[in-house]
Every structure is written in structure tokens, then in C-alpha cells.
């Protein structure tokens, strides 16, 4: 089955000479485009936690300025780990978190919960755990279908007015949902599942590009499946790179609003991921990757 139509004026048409390494989220918050997703970091006490500290500190030393976390990642434990590892935060570091998913007890399953009182409480707790007075980018983890969208987005808008949020983002939304939310408040970012082998949300990416909204693809390297595709492996061999690096380089060259946030719990994988920023695909290589068929 074919992929959706590529973006008008895509990097394939204009080449990769235009590519820049930073993006102004919300028009004024400049971050390095290749960030870090903290979800995979172990948070339990012991050697694994110390390794998590080493990974995230190495990321910052290597110039990462965008780190993504969420309340759902351990019920706030991931946020606490980042604060313990990095506070006081260096100038220019953005830690973005997400709210809107909850459970009533540790044994319960996570469920969407965008009720205003829940969103307010989760933001307050995130401020405490991250040790900040304002979250510069706060994203709604999912839209709760049982709570009016206006109540969910309106609550975040009110929190922004109160100075507790700097910018508002969404996650896993459709073009219609993005448009409805933008009718209530400015949206600075969208975090949808997207990678070289999964382009279902190409229309959302196109909408973000048209509006200058940052697009943070989660699962940016298809959980390591990229190397299983012969064409990707062939391009990787030609470029003397890994399939993961090819997948990340493809994302960075596909649209200037894409800010990949690959995650890992290993320093060597972190360094491999960040090296993809220096990789430039040739027009022929990009054409071959763009033409990969969608999985059945």
C-alpha cells in the first residue's frame, strides 16, 4: 500500500542544504532539533538508576536541549529522576512533560483523564517534582473523549495565564482535533507516533508544517525494526551508518518542524543517535527511502 502524498515542497524537492539544527518552539523557545526521550530510563534505586543519571547527563553535555518526559512514565518517577540528575538546570534546557493520563491506584490500569481538576493537580505535582515554577512546554498526553475538549484545553490555557505553563502542546491528535484546539488556544507542539516505516500521521505533520508547529515524533526509529528492511540496511551500508541513524537522518531531512526524541538507557546508543544529526542523505538515497512501501 502506498504512503500518503509527501509534503508539498518536501526536502526531496528542495534538497537538504536548507536543514538547520534548531527550531523555535512556539516561535521563541529555541531548542536543538534532535532531542531525548526519557521514557526508557530505569527509575528504581540501584545501579540502573545511576546509569540513567549518566545517560541523561551525557545527553546534556553533548548539547541536547529538549528532553521529553510525562507523568505516565512511572507516575512521576521519571520526572523526579530528571530533576535529581540535572537540577539546577543549565540555561537553555527544556524539559517538557505531559499530563492527562491517570489511574486511581498503583494496581489500576492507566486511563485517559482530562478533567480540569485532574489536569490542574498533575501540573502542580509536575512543578513540584521538576522543581520549577513554570513548565515551559506542557503537553496533553491524549485527548479524553469523555471530557469536553474545551474544558481540557481551556484548563491548560488558564494555567498558562496563571504563569504555570509557558506553552501548550498536544499528543496523538488528528488534523481535526488540532484545528479545534487551535481555535481555543495557540498550540506550540504536537507529539504523534511517526517514523520512516510508519507515516500514518503525515497529514498532521503537514498541518504542523503549515502552521509552524513543532512536531515531536514518538517511536522515531520504529523500535529498532528499521534495520530489518533491506533498502534501509543498504542505505546504511552506503552511508557507513547504522539503520537507526538513517531513520533519524531521514526524519530531520523530511520536514524542518520535526524534532525527533529518540530514547535509550545506554550511553553508547545515545551517542549513536546524536551522531545522526551530522549525517546527510543524498537525493538518491532519500528518494529510495521516501518510496518505501507502507507495511501491510
Bond preceding residue 184 cis, omega within 30 of 0: no
73 among known catalytic residues = yes
Q: What is the C-alpha to C-alpha distance for residues 231 and 59, in angstroms, rounded to an integer?
A: 30
Q: Which three cell numbers stand for residue 82?
A: 530528571
Residue of 71, 73, 89, 194 marked active site: 73
Just list the catalytic residues.
Answer: 73
Amino acid at each position: 500500500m502506498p504512503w500518503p502524498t509527501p509534503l508539498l515542497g518536501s526536502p526531496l524537492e528542495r534538497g537538504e542544504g536548507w536543514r538547520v539544527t534548531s527550531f523555535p518552539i512556539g516561535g521563541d523557545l529555541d531548542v536543538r532539533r534532535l532531542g531525548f526521550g526519557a521514557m526508557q530510563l530505569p527509575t528504581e534505586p540501584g545501579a540502573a538508576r545511576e546509569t540513567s543519571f549518566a545517560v541523561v547527563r551525557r545527553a546534556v553535555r553533548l548539547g541536547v536541549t529538549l528532553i521529553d518526559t510525562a507523568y505516565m512514565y512511572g507516575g512521576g518517577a521519571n520526572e523526579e529522576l530528571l530533576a535529581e540528575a540535572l537540577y539546577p538546570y543549565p540555561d537553555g534546557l527544556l524539559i517538557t512533560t505531559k499530563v492527562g493520563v491517570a489511574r486511581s491506584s498503583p494496581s489500576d490500569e492507566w486511563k485517559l483523564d482530562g478533567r480540569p481538576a485532574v489536569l490542574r493537580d498533575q501540573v502542580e505535582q509536575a512543578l513540584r517534582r521538576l522543581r520549577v515554577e513554570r513548565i515551559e512546554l506542557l503537553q496533553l498526553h491524549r485527548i479524553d473523549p469523555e471530557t469536553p475538549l474545551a474544558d481540557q484545553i481551556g484548563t491548560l490555557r488558564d494555567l498558562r495565564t496563571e504563569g504555570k505553563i509557558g506553552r501548550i502542546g498536544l499528543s496523538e491528535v488528528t488534523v481535526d482535533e488540532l484545528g479545534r484546539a487551535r481555535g481555543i488556544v495557540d498550540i506550540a507542539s504536537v507529539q504523534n507516533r511517526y517514523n520512516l516505516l510508519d507515516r500514518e500521521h503525515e497529514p498532521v505533520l503537514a498541518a504542523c508544517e503549515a502552521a509552524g508547529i513543532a512536531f515531536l515524533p514518538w517511536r522515531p526509529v520504529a523500535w529498532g525494526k528499521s534495520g530489518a528492511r533491506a533498502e534501509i540496511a543498504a542505505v546504511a551500508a552506503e552511508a557507513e551508518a547504522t539503520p537507526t541513524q538513517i531513520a533519524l537522518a531521514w526524519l530531520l531531512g523530511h520536514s524542518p518542524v520535526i524534532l525527533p526524541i529518540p530514547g535509550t538507557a545506554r550511553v553508547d546508543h545515545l551517542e549513536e543517535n546524536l551522531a545522526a544529526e551530522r549525517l546527510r542523505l543524498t537525493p538518491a538515497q532519500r528518494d529510495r527511502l521516501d518510496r518505501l512501501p507502507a507495511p501491510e
